[in-house]
Structure 1
Amino acid sequence: MSNQISTIYDDVQNLISLHGTRDPQIILQERNVMLIPFKEKTKLLGMYKVILRNEFVFYNPYVDERILNMVFAHELGHNVYHGNLARKKEIFEYELFNITNSTELEANLFAAHLLIDEEELMEHILLGEDYETLSKIFNVNINLMIFKLNEMYRMGYPINRLDLPNNNQFFTKIDGTDKGNEEIF
């Protein structure tokens, strides 16, 4: 585990305290990141890029609010941790949960910590809620919930294995052209 991964939770808590919100769109705007929607439908969900010291998140406005919120949180993670990389090349996502390297893992862990409050989550876990129900309550994709629960377990929270949903569609691609993307859990 990289040292950066072990500090993501604390970094997110500091950012929430500084900005007074968990809303990634507000935080991005307060960090002077320009949010620019794609003009046409695309499978691309989002992209973080630094051009001449100006920071941009290009995003797909054709996805539902739940996915867009996760895209903003993920791209904020890139903004916080990967500015140097974004100066050299674009960081773009066709799938939010396709973990191919530590850069994407860090952005997903960042998004999970930002969007899901662990104390509120523990209240629901103690009620016996499963992954799918927790995902719906917190308005996130089930993969992001799994990231958060794994991190909470690593951090020492008393979490037992929860029941997985009956269908395994939660590893299905999420993209901007999927008309039913709000139903993917």
Structure 2
Amino acid sequence: MINIHARVKHLIQKYGTRNPAKIIAYLGINLLYEDLGEETKGFYINLITNKYIVVNSNLDEDEIRIILAHELGHAMLHYHKSTCYLREYTLFPRGRTENEANKFAAELLIDEKELDEFLLLDNICVDQLACYYGVPKKLIEYKFNK
């Protein structure tokens, strides 16, 4: 079983950032922005010795950050597979590898150390946490429930 939390923690410590675009650059993964239409938001592909993350150029900044984190998860966790992840990006389960990539994205984008201030507040809810971190509610659930 993959310890996703530990892997993400190591990346953050090594590169000093939670920014998926910066980590992708540090790792030498080729990042491309292309018009992928309305359905496909991004994908990861490993071609021999080259890794590529392709993101739909029609997305807004927040969506791009989430897609980058998710596809970086594939690059870090599933690099040994020659599979092309050309599915529509989704936070709903589509198998083990998609769940792992979602968990990776949640671990990268949500800093639990910042939650101490929220724990002091009453009635904090998933919606408020999602708004604070700029992520969908489903990623909050991946971070704390899976």
**Superposition TM-score, scaled by structure 1 size:** 0.74
Displacement of 1:108 after TM fit?
A: 0.6
1:92–1:127 Cα change, 3 Å: farther
Larger Rg: 1
1:63-85 deviation digits (Å, cap 9, x = unpaired): 11111111000111101110122
Q: Runs of 5+ in structure 2 lacking a partner? A: none
- Which residue matches 1:51? 47
- Which residue matches 1:66? 62
- The count of corresponding residues between Structure 1 and Structure 2 is 145
CA contact (8 A) 1:77 1:107 kept: yes
1:23 is aligned to 2:19: yes
CA contact (8 A) 1:46 1:75 kept: yes
**Superposition TM-score, scaled by structure 2 size:** 0.92
- Which residue matches 1:107? 101
3-state SS of paired residue (1:93): coil
Q: Runs of 5+ in structure 1 lacking a partner? A: 152-185
- Which residue matches 2:87? 93
- Which residue matches 1:121? 115
- Give, as a single letter, the amino acid of the residue that structure 1 aligns with 2:138: N
- Give, as a single letter, the amino acid of the residue that structure 2 aligns with 1:141: P
Displacement of 1:40 after TM fit?
A: 5.0
- Give, as a single letter, the amino acid of the residue that structure 2 aligns with 1:100: R
1:136 is aligned to 2:127: no
After superposition, the CA RMSD in angstroms is 1.4
Displacement of 1:39 after TM fit?
A: 3.0
